[in-house]
Chain A
Amino acid sequence: MKMNGAKILIESLKKEGVEVIFGYPGGQVLPIFDALYDAPVKLILTRHEQAAAHAADGYARATGKTGVCLATSGPGATNLVTGIATAYMDSVPMVAITGQVKSFLIGNDAFQEADITGITRPITKHNYLVEDIKDLARIVKEAFHIASTGRPGPVLIDLPSDIQMQEAEFVYPEKVDLRGYKPTYKGHPGQIKRAAKAISEAKRPILYVGGGAIISGASEEVRDLAIKNDIPVTMTLLGLGAFPMDHKLSLGMLGMHGTAYANHSIMESDLIISVGARFDDRVTGKVDEFAPHAKVIHIDIDPASVSKSVEVDIPIVGDAKTILKHLIKAVKKPDTKDWLKRVEDWKAKHPLKYKDDGKIKPQYVLEEIWRATKGEAIICTEVGQHQMWAAQFYKFTNPRTMISSGGLGTMGYGFPAAIGAQIGKPRATVFDIAGDGSIQMNIQELATAVINKLPVKVIILNNGYLGMVRQWQELFYKKRYSYTTLCGTCPDFVKLAESYGAVGIRVTKKSEIKAAIEKAIKTDKCVFVDVCIEEEENVYPMVPAGQAINKMLGGGLA
């Protein structure tokens, strides 16, 4: 059947099973919006294109499906950039569609023209400028394939508006043929054997689990491997949820703000079994001093992640779930009794703690949220102190429940991501843990949450500071709080929420927390809970930049 480019795009999205996209209209996507007017594909109108990209990202992380966002050319497209970069760093499957000026105007500095394929080249897994209507269906097919397979990532399709209006026969390709793209899924049997032997012989093994385990759907296998063989498990920020944090083998998060016992354990281990993690600098600290006694098994679908920052002894390239299944069968249980005792000692000696002195402590708020939700909620976060407290004090138990910008560290991510997550998981209880700084970076999305009746619960841990930067200034810049004070300049978040039609709750006393959280959970509307917390509370433990990760402030020494 013949149809125009805009219709071909929508039909292709339908073929990919897309039910919802996030976007914002504009001059160069008018034909697409016209096609969307009576299409079964629903568009969620955000109030900023950046939020559309983050919402598509949150949707993707919560559901495992590919998130789709749509914006017009020029400023619409450039507003997506932060969201695309965020998704790229955290390996989130996303297809971003941008309108472009008419083909014959490209390169002319036309109105609202930006070279978005050029701009996004280093932050996309791949991108396309559609030059011929005949290529459109194939490009959409390839884009979804590339975005969702191998190490997932964002793919951008730039679609000039004249091509949106040209007509062609719609034929959706059955399969993709890309000679330059053949991701490896099955792990090398010889390497798996070597890994199994290393695990069986290890005295002090540790599982180091990252976001790749969640993407791969390998949580069950991680649990199996750990529990059957008595191997303690530590997770990266994005790995949280891959293994239940309330299990006795869980060491919680490691790294710069990881638990002292996770950091001590990995530093003293003789075997690191890395599953879908990439030895990021926030995890390793000073890389030359990282885990000096450990052999490293690295399971990763991206060969470029292997031996990038840490020398790997046994690399296994492939899909984590598939590899772990084989590995579990081949491992003979190592004797870790003494090791677990040492780990237990560290746990007992250096627990996560905070001084509960009557003021509202952010850690306490997170603990209460955890108690109220039994660890079953989807927790999105912004970026900063509150993010680290969430990672430390909310005991994640299920995969795809921790949604946070890890690699890029994007403030303003959490609220739109929570909107996307809630749309993808309508029955889930979705929180956005925010700070008074971060929430103001995409606060306009209150409108999106209200109009779509999304009961997202935003907890603003309000300390009147850009807290994480203030903490660094306190510790390393002699308390010169240069431009990090927001106190007295924040809007009244309660009234602000109400003005959009959301519910606002303010908490100034510790005794009010429980009731406020319960009310937020019961409310079937978007809720802002403005919690006035201790202003100068710090995130501990903390590994100062460039130090070995067992040299923690506030974590006790080994």
Chain B
Amino acid sequence: MKHTISVLVENKFGVLARISGLFSARGFNISSLAVGETEDPTVSRMTIVVEGDDRTLEQIKKQLNKLIDTIKVVDFKEGEFVDRELILVKVAVSPKTRKEVLEAIESIGACIENAGSKSISVSATGDHTKIKALLELLRPFGIMEVVRTGRIAMSTEDKGLKVEGKPEVNE
């Protein structure tokens, strides 16, 4: 099962390497990873999509928490967060398919970024269901290239993800 994990880390040199190194050293798979600064410039947020059973997820969270530069780890629960991804897709077109492709792009609400005689480049933002639908819709025409940012996610609770530090394990 895929999980979306949000990790608040010190915004310091080398932290990304620590996190990605941990995943590869322990044989955990990353489906996507997105990193950026938060409202507090000393803190970065990594949104990591991982695959694994409950036990693997538990280990991933514990191992992430063990890193000194990790401030907080949150495993988002279904329905308690919004997630978005930006995707760029280059789809093949021919005089025969052009109309159909344009209709498909419009129907899903993607934006045309560039239109050539042999290909059309589109962008779309959305949650993972929308992105998946877009790809499925365009696949029959021939996808030439896909570029994705990786998922970012935020909790929908009325408070921010506080950075006051790790809670005591037993609390």
Q: What residues make up the interface of A, taking CB atoms closer than 8 Å to B?
A: 117-118, 121-122, 125-126, 129, 131, 146, 178-182, 184, 186-188, 191, 302-304, 306-308, 317-318
What 0/1 readout, one digit per residue, does chain B (10-37) give for beta carbons within 8 Å of chain A?
Answer: 1001100110011001000000000000
A-B contact count (CB 8 A): 61
Query: Would you call A303 and B165 a contact (CB within 8 A)?
Result: no
Q: Write out the residue numbers on chain B whose beta carbons fall within 8 Å of the beta carbon of A125.
A: 68
The residue of chain B having its C-beta at the shortest distance from the C-beta of A151 within the complex is B66
B163 in contact (CB, < 8 A): yes
Given the known interface contacts A121-B17, A307-B55, A308-B59, the answer about A180 and B169 at a Cβ–Cβ threshold of 8 Å is no
CB neighbours of B22 from chain A (8 A): 122
Q: Top 8 nearest A-B pairs by Cβ distance?
A: A179-B165, A304-B62, A188-B170, A184-B169, A126-B68, A317-B169, A180-B71, A122-B25
Contacts of A188 in B (CB 8 A): 170
Whether B145 sits at the interface, judged by CB under 8 Å, is no
With A122-B21, A307-B58 known as contacts, the answer to whether A180 contacts B68 (CB < 8 A) is yes
Query: Shortest beta-carbon distance, B132 to chain A, in Å?
Result: 33
Q: Which residues of A contact B67 (CB under 8 A)?
A: 126, 180
A304-B17 contact given A125-B68, A180-B166, CB 8 Å threshold: no
CA distance A187 to B65 in the complex (A): 18
**B157 on the A face (CB < 8 A):** no
B 47-70 contacts with A by CB, 8 A: 55, 58-59, 62-63, 65-70
Residue from B21, B62, B165 within 8 A of A180 (CB atoms): B165
0/1 string, B96-126, CB within 8 A of A gives 1: 0000000000000000000000000000000
Q: Is the CB of B65 within 8 A of A303?
A: yes
State whether the Cβ of B39 lies closer than 8 Å to any Cβ in chain A.
Answer: no
B80 at the interface (CB under 8 A from A): no
Distance of A492 Cα from B10 Cα, bound (Å): 55
Task: Determine whether the beta carbon of A304 is less than 8 Å from that of B63.
Answer: yes
Q: Is B168 among interface residues, defined by CB-CB distance under 8 A?
A: yes
13 A-B pairs within 8 Å (CB atoms) are namely: A121-B18, A121-B21, A122-B22, A129-B14, A179-B163, A180-B71, A180-B165, A184-B169, A303-B62, A303-B66, A304-B59, A304-B62, A317-B169
User: Which residues of chain B have C-beta atoms less than 8 A from A178's C-beta?
Assistant: 68
List 15 additional A-B contacts (Cβ < 8 Å) besides A126-B69, A129-B13, A179-B163. A121-B21, A122-B25, A131-B13, A146-B68, A180-B10, A180-B70, A180-B71, A180-B165, A180-B166, A182-B165, A182-B166, A184-B169, A303-B62, A303-B65, A307-B55
A118 to B17, CA, bound (A): 8
Q: Measuring CB to CB, which residues of chain B are less than 8 angstroms from any residue of chain A?
A: 9-10, 13-14, 17-18, 21-22, 25, 55, 58-59, 62-63, 65-71, 163-166, 168-170
Chain B facing A: main interface SS? mixed
A302 to B14, CA, bound (A): 24
Beta-carbon contact of A191 and B55 below 8 Å = no
Which residue of chain A lies nearest to B10 when distances are taken between CB atoms in the complex?
A180
Closest chain B residue to A184 by CB distance?
B169
Residues of A contacting B13 with CB < 8 Å? 129, 131
- Smallest Cβ-Cβ distance to B163: which chain A residue: A179
Q: Which residues of B contact A302 (CB under 8 A)?
A: 66
Which residues of B are found within 8 Å of A180, using beta-carbon distances?
A: 9-10, 67-71, 165-166
Contacts of B21 in A (CB 8 A): 121-122
Chain A residue, CB-CB nearest to B42 = A179
Q: Which of A179, A191, A304, A306 has the most CB of B within 10 A?
A: A179
Rounded to whole Å, the gap between the CB of B170 and the closest CB of chain A is 4
Bound together, the chains give a CA A182 to CA B169 distance in angstroms of 9
- In the bound assembly, the distance between CA atoms of A129 and B14 in angstroms comes to 10
Q: Which residues of B contact A179 (CB under 8 A)?
A: 71, 163-166
Q: Compute how far the CA of A307 lies from the CA of B17 in the bound complex, rounded to whole angstroms.
A: 26
**Distance A121 CA – B15 CA, assembled complex (angstroms):** 10
A126: chain B residues within 8 A (beta carbon): 67-69
Q: Please, how many angstroms separate the alpha-carbon atoms of A457 and B165 in the complex? A: 49
CA of A317 to CA of B66, assembled, Å? 13
- The closest CB in chain A to the CB of B71 belongs to A180
Complex: chain A residue closest to B164, CB-CB: A179
Nearest-CB distance from B57 to chain A (Å)?
12
A318 touching B170, Cβ below 8 Å = yes
B17 and A181 within 8 A (CB): no
Residues of A within 8 Å of B25, CB to CB, are: 122
User: Looking across the interface, which residue of chain A has its beta carbon closest to that of B55?
Assistant: A307
**A191 CB contacts on chain B under 8 angstroms:** 170
Closest to A150 in B: B66
- The CA of A181 and the CA of B67, in the complex, are separated in Å by 8
- Which residue of chain B has the shortest Cβ distance to A180 in the bound complex? B71
Docked CA distance A182–B25 (Å):
24
Expressed in whole angstroms, the Cα–Cα distance for A191 and B21 within the complex equals 34
**Contact across chains for B66 and A304 when beta carbons are under 8 A apart:** yes
Contacts A117-B14, A129-B14, A307-B55 given; indicate if A181 touches B62 (C-beta within 8 A): no
Residue of A nearest to B63 (CB): A304
Residue of B nearest to A308 (CB): B59
The residue of chain A having its C-beta at the shortest distance from the C-beta of B170 within the complex is A188
Given A179-B164, A304-B66: A184 and B10 interface contact (C-beta under 8 Å): no
- Minimal Cβ-Cβ distance residue in B for A118: B17
Please report the C-alpha to C-alpha distance between residue A317 and residue B62 in the assembled complex, in whole angstroms. 12
A302 to B63, CA, bound (A): 10
Nearest residue (CB) in A for B72 is A180
CA–CA, A188 and B170, complex, Å: 6
Nearest-Cβ distance from residue B115 to partner chain A, whole angstroms: 43
Complex CA gap A184/B171 in Å reads 10
B8 smallest CB distance to A (angstroms):
9
> Which of chain B's residues have a CB closer than 8 A to the CB of A318?
170
A318 to B170, CA, bound (A): 9
User: Could you say which residues of chain B place their CB within 8 Å of the CB of A317?
Assistant: 169-170
* Chain B residues within an 8 Å CB radius of A181: 68, 166
Residues of the A chain whose Cβ atoms lie less than 8 Å from the Cβ of B18: 121
| Other-chain residue from A131, A186, A307 in contact with B170 (beta carbon distance below 8 A) | A186
Q: Which residues of A contact B69 (CB under 8 A)?
A: 126, 180
